[in-house]
Amino acid sequence: MKAARFDRFGGPEVLEIVDLPDPRPGPGQVRISVRAAGVNPSDWKKRRGLMDEELPQTLGYEAAGIVDEIGEGVTDAAVGDRVFGFSTEGAAQAELAVLSYYAPVPSSLDFSGAAALPAAIETATRALDQLGVGSGSTVLINGASGSVGSAAVQLAAARGARVIGTASPANHEYLHSLGAVPVAYGQGLAERVRSVAPDGVDMALDIAGSGVLPELIGLAGGPEHVVTVADFAGAQEHGVVFSRGDAGRAVHALADIGELIEAGRFSLPVAQTFPLSEVAEAHRAGENGDVRGKLVLLVG
């Protein structure tokens, strides 16, 4: 099969499309003929050598496609099913991928829309679960207009929470459409939040990693009410929980999201698609940082 891989660290130019042996599903897993695979910031962090030291490395943790082989004990999927989910091996940007966690593709979505979901909804759901976001609570989301942020806004609103989201003024109308009260980030953030929530907030989620944990702690009434998915050093310094997938993934998000999507209560825009052969261009687009929505590779 064809797959994206790199055998040295560096810029997007190190990415190659190579031939690799076809993977086989283990117990509880399914293999899909990949139709689309999501691209995430972790991909270029890996490529730069900021995450794993071994070489060579494949890429991709989320994909959607058609089941073409099932592993031992699988009873909730059959060959021919449309599914989306996680490749825990990090090899989803390929013609074939093994998914360890998966769910049916919502009927209203195409493969690219489904491939955009797993990482964003799992990260957002895990953090909201850790914070205990529920009906009647007020949650501040720092960095609310990206894929994880916009997922968190919608999922928190679906739980019945009041959501305040930080973003640049250009994204305020977008946040409002998702159900959030938008505020501008930057100097004076705390005062702007208190102008719409005079008593502060019940909890805060940091997705941007922009160095505002002290302000979030003050607004939420203590570090125990703040979770970050982006600022590991700040979390250690200020006693905030750093949410990471290896401590337990919120994989229930995959099965739960379909109902919200079909009810028109959740959407995650795909900003741009690229053929698998142009994976380097997808990295360049993502690293430029001016994309709202997901980048997705189309396969087959």
Residue numbers of the domain that contains 93 = 2-116+269-298
Peptide bond between residue 56 and the one before it cis (omega within 30 degrees of 0)? yes
In this structure, the answer to whether residues 110 and 126 fall within a common structural domain is no
Exposure b/e, 243-278, CB count within 10 A at least 16 = b: bebeeebbbebbebbbebbeeeebbbebeebbebeb
262 within domain boundaries: no
Q: How many domains in the chain?
A: 2
Residue 293, pLDDT score: 78
CATH of the domain at 55: 3.90.180.10
36 within domain boundaries: yes
In this structure, the answer to whether residues 42 and 140 fall within a common structural domain is no
pLDDT along the chain (300 residues), means of 10: 97 97 98 97 91 93 98 97 96 98 96 97 96 97 94 98 96 95 94 96 95 96 97 95 82 95 94 96 87 87
C-alpha 16/C-alpha 188 separation (Å) is 45
Q: Which two tokens stand for residue 161?
A: 């929470």
Q: What is the pTM of this model?
A: 0.94
Residue 65, pLDDT score: 98
CA 219-176-85 angle, to 5 degrees, is: 90
Question: Among 300, 245, 297, 290, which residue's Cα sits nearest to residue 15?
Answer: 297
In this structure, the answer to whether residues 55 and 138 fall within a common structural domain is no
Residue 288, pLDDT score: 84
Question: Among 1, 5, 87, 3, which residue's Cα sits nearest to residue 54?
Answer: 5
Question: Among 204, 133, 207, 203, which residue's Cα sits nearest to residue 167?
Answer: 207
Residue 290, pLDDT score: 64
C-alpha 82/C-alpha 202 separation (Å) is 39
Burial classification of residue 17, based on how many CB atoms lie within 10 Å of its CB (0-12 exposed, 13-18 middle, 19 or more buried):
middle
Residue 118, pLDDT score: 97
254 within domain boundaries: no
CATH of the domain at 190: 3.40.50.720
Residue 51, pLDDT score: 86
178 within domain boundaries: yes
C-alpha 283/C-alpha 210 separation (Å) is 22
